[in-house]
Structure 1
Amino acid sequence: MGKREDNKKRTEQRLLDAGIRLLGGPNGENVTVQDIADEAGVSRATFFNYFDSKQDIATAFGRRQRESIFAFAETLPEDMPTADKILAVLRADIDSVHHRLGNVTFARYIMMSVFGNERLARAELQNWDLLAQMYGDILTHGIDRGEVPSDLDIPLASRMIVEMYFSAQSEFLFGSTEVPCAELIERRARMLFTGFGIS
């Protein structure tokens, strides 16, 4: 990576980190683009070189998170049982989200920003499609290993895993459940595995 490209990556990361800190803070809903630029130590014009709006911070976080999870999935052993592999990815995803955000305020902001904006919602649904493809690859490998029924509808099953994950997150963030998010996701994942007939 060239020096210029490296500097661009660092600037984008500073803006992303600043956005997460401010938008996840107690006064998050009143944070402006200028506030984020100031926190990152750049100009307002520089902010717009990287993001179209402060809401785009949310989708950028989601994109980085997805890339991180894809990389993690690639490190898992080939012979790891299918159910264990999917659970490992789900756990890594939620653990990483909680570690990087530090609190639930920004996670709530992401949900409200993304699904309150048609353009961002479409981008997020594309993200879901990519995640479903990853789980589909794991399930397909499970068929080859004899751990997953050969007649399982892979596109539907993989999409159900993704929708379960985000549904559990939403319930944890906005609902009244006292069950930790990771536990809620694991319980529901195991129920899906039973329905899928995964051994």
Structure 2
Amino acid sequence: MLREARKAELKERLFQEALQLFCDKGYENVTVQEIASQCGIAKGTFFNYFARKEDILLYLGESQLEWLEQSAAQHQHVEEPKEQIWLVLNDLLQRFAAHSELMKLAAVEMIKSAYLAERESRSVLQLHAQIAGLIDAAKAEGRLRSRWDTADIATTLVSVYFHTMMSWTLLAASRESIGDSLRKHLHVVWDGIDTE
């Protein structure tokens, strides 16, 4: 158990040191050797934690999945499904907001790299499955009555989540909090566009 905790600690340190180097020098100008040296480890040891430099950009998203499970468990007793989903997604977005420079970098690199896009799609599918689970539970408990299929609802909510994250990161980080932006977008979708 102690060994696993040390491994997790070193992986997080590699991630944090890499972020600092990316911010200081630019992603393209940072080598794996520099990241390893900054952490006092051999270059080969780096590859025990990340298969390549690009994987550092994916780490934030992958580590979000653990946060997602913890957040879903923390908010499982919230009665209102819309509020429960907002709380869970907001928890995730707060971690991204703390790393907005990384998010900008990751967005640009994701567009350029098929490898990164394919790897990130796995995290998106897991997020979709978690949100679908929350929707199914709300339907089964009678807290949500909807004519829409669970998969379609989850797809829409995940789309709102990613739109909020990307638009806040790239365009509007200074105008409003990311949580407020998400809440506003969820209201529009949840309440429906046609209110007649």
**What's the secondary structure of 2:191's corresponding residue?**
helix
For 1:149 and 1:196, locate their aligned partners in 2 and report how far apart those are by CA, in whole Å.
17
Match of 2:92 in 1: 93
Displaced runs of 4 or more, over 6 A: none
Show structure 1 runs of 5+ residues with no match.
none
**Partner letter of residue 145 of structure 1?**
E
Q: How does 1:26-45 map to 2 (within 5 A)?
A: 26-29=24-27, 30-45=29-44
CA 54–21 in structure 1, closer or farther in 2 if over 3 Å, else same: same
Match of 1:20 in 2: 19
For 2:171 and 2:181, locate their aligned partners in 1 and report how far apart those are by CA, in whole Å.
12
Cα deviations by residue, 1:44-82 (Å, 9 ceiling, x for unpaired): 111122212211001122111121121111122435210
**Partner letter of residue 191 of structure 1?**
V
Match of 1:111 in 2: 107
For 1:150 and 1:173, locate their aligned partners in 2 and report how far apart those are by CA, in whole Å.
32
Match of 1:188 in 2: 185
Cα deviations by residue, 1:16-70 (Å, 9 ceiling, x for unpaired): 12122222x2422322212211222211111122212211001122111121121
For 1:196 and 1:71, locate their aligned partners in 2 and report how far apart those are by CA, in whole Å.
32
Match of 2:129 in 1: 133
TM-score by length of 2: 0.87
Q: In the TM superposition, what is the alpha-carbon distance from 1:147 to its structure 2 partner?
A: 3.2
Match of 1:153 in 2: 149
Contact map agreement 1:66 1:127 (CA 8 A) in 2: yes
Q: In the TM superposition, what is the alpha-carbon distance from 1:149 to its structure 2 partner?
A: 2.3
**Cα RMSD after superposing both structures:** 2.2
TM-score by length of 1: 0.86
Show structure 2 runs of 5+ residues with no match.
none
**Partner letter of residue 66 of structure 1?**
L
Contact map agreement 2:132 2:150 (CA 8 A) in 1: yes
Contact map agreement 1:168 1:181 (CA 8 A) in 2: yes
Contact map agreement 1:14 1:40 (CA 8 A) in 2: yes
**What's the secondary structure of 2:47's corresponding residue?**
helix
**Partner letter of residue 32 of structure 1?**
T
Task: Give percent identity, aligned residues only.
Answer: 22
Contact map agreement 1:19 1:57 (CA 8 A) in 2: yes
Contact map agreement 2:131 2:154 (CA 8 A) in 1: yes
Contact map agreement 2:97 2:178 (CA 8 A) in 1: no
